[in-house]
Every structure is written in C-alpha cells, then in structure tokens.
Amino acid sequence: MSKSTEPLRGDAAYKAAKKEIADRNEAAYARGRRERTARDAARAVSRREEERDANRSLPKQPAR
C-alpha cells in the first residue's frame, strides 16, 4: 500500500495528536528524572563535604 499525502482526518488525526502529546510527555518525564538525579547527586556530594569539614573542626578528646 502506498502512503497518502492527504492530512489525517477524524479519528486518525485525533489518535496521531494524542500519541504525539504522549511522546512529548514521556520525553519531559525522562528529562526531569535525569535532571533530578543529577541535582540529588550533586546535593549529596556537597552535604558529605560539609559534614567532613564540620567533623574536622570538632574538638579532640583530652588524653587520660
């Protein structure tokens, strides 16, 4: 069968538009997950560095 060059109409146009929206939504969700993962990883590294610095400045226990 050859493809028609006529634009989609009716139910076919609705389904094509719905699929296009669903594809864009999925891409946005995936992008958000990647960005959130990167942001959370950077935040965890920063928090560990801050804790390490805070632990270095703790007073030492006196010797017995």
**pLDDT tens, position by position, 5-61:** 788 899 999 999 999 999 999 999 999 999 999 999 999 999 999 999 999 988 888
User: Look-up: residue for tokens 């992008």?
Assistant: 31
Does an H or E element contain 29, and which?
helix 10-56
Q: What letter does residue 7 receive in the DSSP assignment?
A: P
* Model pLDDT, residue 7: 87
Task: Take residue 63 and report the two structure tokens written for it.
Answer: 């010797």
* Model pLDDT, residue 48: 97
* Model pLDDT, residue 47: 97
Q: Which residues of the chain form beta strands (DSSP E)?
A: none
* Model pLDDT, residue 15: 96
Q: pTM for the full model?
A: 0.61
